[in-house]
Structure 1
Amino acid sequence: MKKRAEKPSKVDKVDSAIEEEPKPKTADDYQCSGHLQLEFPELCKLMGVKEIPSVKVKRPRILESRMTKWSPGRCLQIELENEEHNNVKEVKISGWTVDELMLQVLSKILPSLSNLLCLRMWRIGLTDGTFTSMKNTVSLCSNLRKVVLEGNPLPEQSYHLLLGEDSMLTELSLRNNRIGEEGARLIGSALSNPHSANKNLRSLNLAYNRIGDAGALHIAQGLRLNRSLLSLSLSYNHIGDNGAARLAEVLGPFALTHEEIVERRKLLIKGDQSNMVQSSLVSLADSHEPALSVPSNSSLDQISKSAKHTTKKRDNPKKEEKPAQSPAAKKEEAKVAKKDNKAPRSQAGKGKDKNLLVSEQEGTSPSQAVEVTVDTVIPLLDPGIVHTGGKVIHPGNTCLTSLNLSGNELSEQSLKVFLSSLESQCEGGLLRLSLSKNRFPSDCDTFLKIQEMMSQKHPLSKNSTSQMEDEYGEAKTSSPA
């Protein structure tokens, strides 16, 4: 008789069911795909956030102007590109405290937003500790270029960490953060010092702080060797004539300090050494003679064998027979010969071509070879630097195009320094200089001359004499009446 098939027991079924059940997700295992509206609340639950902020899509500006600028309650305002949910280009957080737990959520979800360009944070209650976590999150966002951090005073004033040499930010707003002299010193050093400089930041807004004259000196020091910053706002910072004069002096010719001269000499020595290496490489590439070396025994044997072989060929009067060629092949051979004859003419005598030749021998690509020949301008090696009266005179910072000093304590005394510096700027230099609401009459001669000069350098400024408020309430015009 056949045995009946054994049926699986109920215990086995229960065990298999337990094995098939997926394990609950944890925050560490959670993988963000860039869909912030869906993934943000899920990640908050996994992280144990009790009060989960809502996510609201930013409305068009026409409709938003009729509403309050900042949504009440705990929420994240986002702006989408082309109305695609996984294409967030701006995130705005305002009016509620972002603690360490929430920063852990943001540190996981913000870097997943590959198209995130702008992050706005207004009065979010940052501390020195949470600011460090936020700075690390900003550095993880590959395409983030604009950060607005306003209304967040920090005891240690460590805002300069966002301006590190490796920072990729191009726009930074630090309005209303109670930044004083120490914070200005750190920011000025981050902008530039004799040994390093920020190379990416284009716009810096420091309005409505407490920088004062002492802080303005540090900012001016940072502008000496910075060649990336185009727009700087120092409005409403209690800056007087002393600080404003130092800012104006940087725009015109100034004498290098001892530390800057020492660093300049080091750069010149490095440049001479690199030029010597390049010239030696070029000479090796141009020379057709092989490098001298001591022959080994095996190489001598090979040389003797090759010599015997050549003597046998010379003794044999018969020429080597070549295979018969068709007329078409002969024409191709003639074309190749013509190209070979033309090649040396294009390579002769030019320094760039020699450098390209060396790079090809070293196995680099043509694009890399071009980069070798192009020299980047270093401020301490500016060709306009001159030696006069025992001093080394730098032509000044002509890269800064917009400077806002409205709402400070400037008198006509500092305006004269600005006028002198602006007259010395031959090429480039300031196109906008906002000096409204200071301690000088609007009809004083120096101010009128500055206005006329600005209108000649930037014709559009003639049509922008009225005060226009941007979305933060700060004037953008260059030469108001």
Structure 2
Amino acid sequence: MGKKSEKAQKDKVAAGNAEDESRNSANASMERASLTVGDYQCTGILEQDFPELCGRAGFTESEIPRVTLCHRTAVTPTSEKNAADDSDGASDKDNPGGGGPTKDKFSYFKPKIEVETEGEDGKSVKVIFVHGWKIDHRMMGIFSKCLPALTALQGISLWNVALTESTFSQFLEILPHCPNIKTVVLEGNPLPEQSYYKLISDHLPLVRISLRNNMITDDGAKLISQALQSLKTNNKNLATLNLSFNHISDLGAGYLAEALRMDRSLLCLDLSHNQIGDQGTLALAEVLGPFPLTHKEIVERRRLLMDKDSHELQRSPTLSRNGDARNDRPQSHQSYAAVEKPEKAPAASKTNKSMAKKKDKDKDPQKKEEKSTTSLQGGNSTVSGQGGQAKKEDPKAAKKQLPNPEQKNSKVKPVRSASKRVPLTEHELHVEPAEITHPLLEPAESRDGKVFLPGNRVLINLNLLRNRITEKGLNGLLAAVEAQESKLIPGSKSHTGLLRLCVGKNLFPPDNETFIKLQELMLSRDPIHKLSRLSADEQTQ
């Protein structure tokens, strides 16, 4: 027995050593391949860089995926030429019955990279599509080398490529090096740890993220919600989030509703083909209309208001030196002195009016303008008492100052010169565009002892198709849509609030009264419906 156990232990040790050796040899080969790949300098032309990098990484010629244009036939011009050469000689021998070569018959199913290009030369890759073949560590290493060299790359679509947590981490390391990347599509790639939330970050300025058919559960929705809430208020990049065909229930919809309370960047949210019922629908409907703040949010709102007031107090000395505050009090005092000073001149020499006119010429032009400003404003009784004298002198002063273009509109805009208004204008331009404020600083309303915000008016497209919503959830959505006031966004012709809402194919009949009323209400807002109706009217005319 002892000899058998010793022999079994020796066999285990030998097998472990063999596995370690094979693993070490594989790692060594990968390191050598990575060093060889690292020596290559990419040209930015994917059709040249990708095959070269694959060859240096140890791929055989038959294993290297082809680079083809999107919406093009599966056979590339190169393969067509090879097929023609093969058909001249070996095709009759290999396929005596006629037809094309057997080895190219299934070329459609071979791994390939489809690209969408732009530019006159057609070599600037805009979008990359990788569908239906596994991407391992070696291939991710090749992508990390050639993708950043594509300066026009805006979108990457990886469908059913068997991503793992490690390859997904490699993919996340590639994205920051792609300067113009805006869209990432990861569909059919379920991850055990549901790390998709890492795509939502301030370091990745993505505009569109699609995570369809990834078996995302409520835990994954919670992580995504936390990532949305952690975004900075000035990060307005992420506009579209697609979470359709997943396993999100009422709990996950509630998590996403918490993110929509303070998120002011998301425009489109797709939650179709999930397991959301009335509870999750009501949670989403609540944040679309006026909702009450929690105690924690009220405390944060007060802190933000205090910080805002302190910043305004710190800016007030600057405003008093360069802003309108100086043009109020100091000008009135100077105008008052300028009006009183001419009173003494006529008293000293009433007979010599030319001397008084000569003194008026020698005065500072600013005091003349301040005098006109004070006469227009009617600052106090002393100034208004001299209104008749100011009216008599203004036409003559205006005639003498007419050659100076800056003094023509002194009565309308009493400014000494345009250069003196530059500091105020720069300050106003710096402050006014800062309309992107924290959502807690939005105008609030107090009633019943609670503080209500107007709700999320940024989300314009919500898709809840094919869930588990009944008439109870429909009533909540209808109340939320009706509560959204139809106000114009400043500087545009569009309205705030939802413009499209899809709730069909749920647990209610198509002839439901609430559903019909909600559809009619949304049709009046749907811009696509308006355009189609407008085009139809134009055709009839």
Give the Cα–Cα distance (whole angstroms) in 2 for the partners of residues 55 and 257 of structure 1: 54
TM normalised by structure 1 equals 0.72
**What is the CA deviation profile of residues 116-169 of structure 1, one whole-angstrom value per residue up to 9, with x for unaligned ones?**
121110011111111111012122211111111100011111111111133311
Question: What displacement does 1:222 show?
Answer: 0.9
Aligned amino acid, residue 396 of structure 1: G
Shift in alpha-carbon separation, 1:80–1:414, aligned structure 2, 3 A: same
SS at match of 1:149: strand
Which position in structure 2 is the counterpart of 1:419?
A: 478
Which position in structure 2 is the counterpart of 1:44?
A: 54
Give the Cα–Cα distance (whole angstroms) in 2 for the partners of residues 381 and 353 of structure 1: 38
Question: What displacement does 1:243 show?
Answer: 0.5
**What is the CA deviation profile of residues 269-312 of structure 1, one whole-angstrom value per residue up to 9, with x for unaligned ones?**
221122112211121336699xxxxxxxxxxxxxxxxxxxxxxx
Give the Cα–Cα distance (whole angstroms) in 1 for the partners of residues 234 and 253 of structure 2: 18
Give the Cα–Cα distance (whole angstroms) in 2 for the partners of residues 357 and 389 of structure 1: 45
Give the Cα–Cα distance (whole angstroms) in 2 for the partners of residues 369 and 100 of structure 1: 53
Question: What displacement does 1:443 show?
Answer: 0.9
Which position in structure 1 is the counterpart of 2:70?
A: 58
**What is the CA deviation profile of residues 320-355 of structure 1, one whole-angstrom value per residue up to 9, with x for unaligned ones?**
xxxxxxxxxxxxxx9998256579989868xx9999
**What is the CA deviation profile of residues 5-25 of structure 1, one whole-angstrom value per residue up to 9, with x for unaligned ones?**
xxxxxxxxxxxxxxxxxxxx9
Residues 1:248 and 2:285 aligned together: yes
Which position in structure 2 is the counterpart of 1:101?
A: 138
SS at match of 2:186: strand
Which position in structure 2 is the counterpart of 1:477?
A: none
Which position in structure 1 is the counterpart of 2:460?
A: 401
Asked whether the 8 Å contact 1:165–1:190 carries over to 2, the reply is no
Pairs aligned (count): 382
- The residue correspondences of 1:152-191 to structure 2 (distance < 5 A) are 152-191=189-228
Asked whether the 8 Å contact 1:190–1:197 carries over to 2, the reply is no
Give the Cα–Cα distance (whole angstroms) in 2 for the partners of residues 223 and 386 of structure 1: 19
TM normalised by structure 2 equals 0.64
SS at match of 1:155: coil
Structure with the bigger percentage of helix = 2
Match of 1:449 among 494, 517, 537: 517
Give the Cα–Cα distance (whole angstroms) in 2 for the partners of residues 240 and 355 of structure 1: 59
**What is the CA deviation profile of residues 189-219 of structure 1, one whole-angstrom value per residue up to 9, with x for unaligned ones?**
2222597585211111100000111100011
Which position in structure 2 is the counterpart of 1:338?
A: 404
Aligned amino acid, residue 225 of structure 2: G
Q: What are structure 2's unaligned runs of at least 5 residues?
A: 1-34, 76-106, 331-399, 487-495, 534-541
Which position in structure 2 is the counterpart of 1:316?
A: none
Larger Rg: 2
Give the Cα–Cα distance (whole angstroms) in 1 for the partners of residues 67 and 118 of structure 2: 16
Give the Cα–Cα distance (whole angstroms) in 2 for the partners of residues 104 and 346 of structure 1: 68
Aligned amino acid, residue 44 of structure 2: G
- The residue correspondences of 1:10-49 to structure 2 (distance < 5 A) are 26-49=36-59
Which position in structure 1 is the counterpart of 2:263?
A: 226
- The residue correspondences of 1:320-469 to structure 2 (distance < 5 A) are 338=404, 341=407, 356-357=422-423, 370-427=429-486, 428-458=496-526, 460-461=528-529
Give the Cα–Cα distance (whole angstroms) in 1 for the partners of residues 231 and 202 of structure 2: 13
Residues 1:87 and 2:124 aligned together: yes
Give the Cα–Cα distance (whole angstroms) in 2 for the partners of residues 424 and 356 of structure 1: 43
Q: What are structure 1's unaligned runs of at least 5 residues?
A: 1-24, 64-69, 290-333, 360-365, 466-481
- The residue correspondences of 1:99-178 to structure 2 (distance < 5 A) are 99-178=136-215
Which position in structure 1 is the counterpart of 2:236?
A: 199
Which position in structure 2 is the counterpart of 1:471?
A: none
Give the Cα–Cα distance (whole angstroms) in 1 for the partners of residues 413 and 72 of structure 2: 59
SS at match of 1:260: helix
Shift in alpha-carbon separation, 1:222–1:277, aligned structure 2, 3 A: same
SS at match of 2:251: helix
Question: What displacement does 1:60 show?
Answer: 5.6
Question: What displacement does 1:459 show?
Answer: 6.0
Asked whether the 8 Å contact 2:249–2:276 carries over to 1, the reply is yes
Asked whether the 8 Å contact 1:250–1:396 carries over to 2, the reply is yes
**What is the CA deviation profile of residues 351-407 of structure 1, one whole-angstrom value per residue up to 9, with x for unaligned ones?**
x99995168xxxxxx6x9723342223253454311112211011111111111111
